[in-house]
Structure 1
Amino acid sequence: MNNILQVKHLKETYKDKKQEFQALDDVSFTIDQGEILALLGPNGAGKTTIVSIIGGYLIPTSGHVILNGQDITTARKRPNIGVSFGGDLGFYRNATAKQNLQFFADLAKVPFRKQNKEIERVLSIVDLLNVANKKVGEFSKGMTQRLHIARSLLNNPNLLLLDEPTSGLDVEIAQSVQKTIKNLSDSGISILLTSHTMSEVEKLAKRIVILGAGKVFFTGTINAVFGLAEKEINQKPKNLEEAYLALAPKLRRK
């Protein structure tokens, strides 16, 4: 398959007057067209830093981000990438879903004459077209999360960065968001997913990258990580959560 995204030897170092902190240390991985790749690791492992670098919010200390064959490491504009950090913030609660997306369509440089059609398209994808004129403050958490995804789809990107897309949602609502993510992947959009919900990762992702202390600890299929965990606990893990917990002690910063 074709690599939509190549992350090559990323390093990110934070410095202050007293010390130096290595947030990322030689991180490399790829994402294929239509693939859902999950990025796992404990808090502080570097997941959000990677999303910020790929999304263009942070320029790495060194390394490269290559999208569709072009080096975009220092590019300010990245129209082919959609980013969703989720949560309750990020929208004007007293404005409707459509009004919010009109604002973000302007920021995304969607031509004015095409905005209504584009907004209808993204709302339809996330099954919110019927509430386009409802105030966001009246939305449920699941609806708000799907609106975040709709916003990330403006300008029709071919790569989505989804940071904890179902965090704080109950099981039923989370499943509706997961269905949306799966449908986007099936349509050919590549997705980088960060999540602490292992059952979600097991359901959605074809491959996973596990980070530990800013480094890539593992890259491969879920079956392969089961084999790695089996060596630690001398039995085959029942699921990804059990496999991850078996490996967790090796992922901590020293």
Structure 2
Amino acid sequence: MLEVKNLKRQFGQKKQPFTAVADLSFQIRKGEIVALLGPNGAGKTTTVKMIAGYLSPTAGHVIIDGQDAALSPKLVQNQVATVFGGELGFYARASAFDNLKFFSVLFKIPRKERKKKIEEVLSAVQLQDVQYQKVGEFSRGMRQRLHIARALLKDTNIILLDEPTNGLDVEIAHEIRDLIRKLADNGKTILLTSHTMSEIESLADRVLLIGAGKIVHDGTVESVVKLSGVTKVNRPATLEESYLALADGLRR
């Protein structure tokens, strides 16, 4: 469903460019959750932004359902939804329903389908009971769920999640993880970035270890643990213990 081929992104002047993403290649199948894991500055968010169409690659290709995204401008818009989260992105004085109504117009959802679609996505993220409440009165967890609801409005096959539970309390984070798993079970292709190792352990079918803008390892959580060489007497090493053992080698 999603393929990245030799993706590269440089910033700065031509004489002294900074390479954020050096040479990235990977594939994600339909219904698969793949986590990008690496230290700050490794190129994770830059990669997500290139796939989402917010940044143009310096070189390389993003292939969506067999088509080169660069050759079809509407392809990313129709097939990819992105959740960056945070406090911004909505009109604080408008209700959740009215915010999603605004975005449904931007996403060109037919007028007769808008109300039903908005109610469906609000129900999916358990915000139907507060749909007419002002977003400015929402907690951080509620806003994060509203970000996911906005992504679901587009009904795309690919969802990019950048730190989807960052800063949320345990219960809300658990609810959002359950929602992410349900989306994958329903055939959505998901690329996830997270610094929460337990989140990656519970969700990711595969882990892409990224360092200095390159894929260092592509495999299961168990394969990352094996790669680290960390051993414990009475149990397998956790992903966090394994990642910490590998982290120095991933930094630029």
TM-score category of the 2 structures, normalised to the smaller one: over 0.9
Q: Does 1:64 align with 2:61?
A: yes
> What is the rounded CA distance, in whole Å, between the counterparts of 1:138 and 1:183 in structure 2?
28
Instruction: Name 1:27's counterpart in structure 2.
Output: 24
1:2-151 correspondence to structure 2 within 5 Å: 4-16=1-13, 19-73=16-70, 75-77=72-74, 78-151=77-150
> What is the rounded CA distance, in whole Å, between the counterparts of 1:117 and 1:165 in structure 2?
25
> What is the rounded CA distance, in whole Å, between the counterparts of 1:170 and 1:73 in structure 2?
39
Is 1:56–1:75's contact at 8 Å kept on the other side of the alignment?
no
1:146-161 correspondence to structure 2 within 5 Å: 146-161=145-160
> What is the rounded CA distance, in whole Å, between the counterparts of 1:185 and 1:139 in structure 2?
27
Is 1:80–1:157's contact at 8 Å kept on the other side of the alignment?
yes
Amino acid at match of 2:60: G
Instruction: Name 2:163's counterpart in structure 1.
Output: 164
Is 1:229–1:237's contact at 8 Å kept on the other side of the alignment?
no
> What is the rounded CA distance, in whole Å, between the counterparts of 1:81 and 1:170 in structure 2?
28
Identity percentage over the alignment? 56
> Superposition RMSD on alpha carbons, in Å?
1.4
Normalised by the length of structure 1, the TM-score is 0.94
Is 2:231–2:237's contact at 8 Å kept on the other side of the alignment?
no
> What is the rounded CA distance, in whole Å, between the counterparts of 2:62 and 2:171 in structure 1?
36
Normalised by the length of structure 2, the TM-score is 0.94
Unaligned runs of 5+ in 1: none
> What is the rounded CA distance, in whole Å, between the counterparts of 2:71 and 2:37 in structure 1?
25
Is 1:40–1:209's contact at 8 Å kept on the other side of the alignment?
yes
- Deviations, residues 214-253 of structure 1 (Å, cap 9, x unaligned): 11111111111111001xx465852100010010011011
Instruction: Name 2:204's counterpart in structure 1.
Output: 205
> What is the rounded CA distance, in whole Å, between the counterparts of 2:139 and 2:32 in structure 1?
29
- Deviations, residues 112-158 of structure 1 (Å, cap 9, x unaligned): 22111111121121111221111111212111101000101112101
Instruction: Name 1:192's counterpart in structure 2.
Output: 191
